[in-house]
Structure 1
């Protein structure tokens, strides 16, 4: 993560061009630490995303769509009361720190001019969003409350005076000269990267690594020059937003020390949207569904162990014929058995070579009882074969179902997790959660909607409830249905019966991306008409069988998925 002071400067500079004089028309708080503010400026709506997420704190314009809670949180309602209808006056960054203020002008209940400030502080787990009254510099409220027991430096609670975070007296690297940089560094002490980090504000380890790389042979001449050269485009607001390599580092300037494919973007907002796509959601899902995933994996392991035991039992059942043979041989040679014998050696009449075979005996049982014992074992093993085979089939189906649900949890949104919990409750895996307040029942699951290059609608089910609704109720018989071949994944439907091979490949890419093989290449995807897809009677949710399918192979491409998602189109229902 490299949302440093330089990236903050790039985002702030762009917002300074777009938001001032813009009117705040909507405010939402989709998650506990996130705000979404719609600003109408210069005839266009701008969606501003502010996040105090401890792992993914950031702010930028976004094209992402968010699911809002049925009841907005108190902080959201407070902002709506004070800010909706107000105007953004200016956007400012504090030096090169990761602190940005949005100055907002509106009118209070009496019609008088009212000035407020919305402040976002990007400080890792200490990140916060604060709403401050300009007249007395008092905190009206904040997205996170910090009582005195948690911080001896400052209290962040309604009614308390706003106090800026400590800056540690660092220098603004954009305001120093070459000579000042040289004077501030002690080359004989070593650890120059830490010296740079502790002396200058807004610099991340990533930017410092770039300075060291450009300096090559680091000394008191080369490093200050590399320092000034690296920051020159930042001073001039000459940014090159990019994501680099498989590790997906992002930057607003060229990084020569990073290896890998460089993906450039026209704006810093597009870059951040792309980089953070799904990351915060997966983090939230991991927190919300940690217990659920652990339970599912335990159940999966139990069933895999059960399969092994059943297979051992089945192998033992194969010995049934041997038990029958011993019983019949004992019956034929009963006159040779003496009381108290532990075993008897007899000619095996069933062996083509008529070899002798030794049969163990129970000394306390009579010859007839020994024969009956073998016949009982034979019948028991014979009858168990059908039962064991049936249990193996059921356990294998259980494993397929659990693997499917685990895959759905891994790719789920926070909204999807509740549907998965509900399904597992209905199937008897977990107890139903007791809710204090009854939520409004949603009749239809919400499907993910994508639009192909030629304008056709493609729908994706992210869990079994959505899959069943999509395939069995929403889709038409003439629509095309797709699913990864023998791999847990989502149901995908192309709306309509007239489309090109390009649309088919795009839909197949979605099926591969939302499957267990997301990170694989050349993933097999089956496709057929919806009329050829059926759910067997009594089958678990989401399970279907299909016929008359064809198979194609695609490599999942997240960039294509985002392109299909963001493309505007007419939803045809």
Structure 2
């Protein structure tokens, strides 16, 4: 959720403040609904969905229900009391402070502040006391994950790192001149509260494309559109047919360019290797000459003076042959050295003969792939662009087939665990042995509901490929891949997850199975 969208929502909410807080509801373990009665008499919910990677803040009518499902939610139910006095945003960042007044009673509840960090993968919800000390946090963050700040109960709250960007609410047209000559999409780096979604909306309103280099007229159009976006950041502007075509072509070109550049780099590397292999073949004649000189040295040992830097000998055909020598070596040792050089050149030529056709075939395959990318449509380019960098072979991990025919993938190390999980379909099932180091296991079902025998099959693989291997009762958690995320700055393979169920299985490999 982007900063200007939060700003617009808080602007609407602030019209109703101070608001009477009628109580919380917890529809699920990552959602808090605050039932409020505004000063206009309107009753509505302020709904905070705080689970990464897609947190949101919305105003909804009606009543939501749900009891606390986590210890943190039980803390919120106990400590959030009194009217909602203020709703503030840190600059136009995705951080919101909701200040509650507390209430008097048999046991007084002091004022508190709810902090909602709607920051994508690092989204979080925290409860602070009057002094800014953390009372509770949905996802504690230790120093091993974030060296800039820790988020744990008992510590003072530290907001995300400060930054300097232009404030769209007050900026002048001349402030945007830093973007002159740059593509419109660079506005995300320069203007606060604008992310990729709002950047695209801004481009639509300005009649431009994200890749359009901005001239003076473009800056004026962007400034006008930006002011309108501050007042109404809703995403609803339609594209003209011409602009739609331009957008599509630019998007394809932006996706196509890095793919072609990567293949071109690989092609240049292969062409350089091919050139080296050709030179190795050409030096085969040199190897024959070296071997002939070595033969001549051994045949004319008496004619070779010790300590000489060269020898001039009569060849086998009566010709005059000059042979450079190492004066520190005997004639026999010089001959041996020539034989070794000849042997290395022959081995290089032999290897070149083997590698040249393979390299030429790889170059042809690269050229075909490049041509396919040049002709690819947007959907195909998006699919190709989602491959992790450096991944050339998509056959990651050990592969198994479940009883019903689903593919099951098992990571063999931290990097492979990371790649398997990142590249899995959002509706695939992800398995991991509970509480112990082990492999990430992906059951490729893409939203289907596999039978229990397939779930048990994948769970046993997760148990077997973990520190719990061999145990009789291993708890294995599983959930949809979309509920699994890697925290910011966490090491490859380290993830958090939610919505999991648990199976208890033996830590042994299913019978008759071997990874491929």
Return the TM-score normalized by structure 2: 0.44
TM-score (norm 1): 0.40
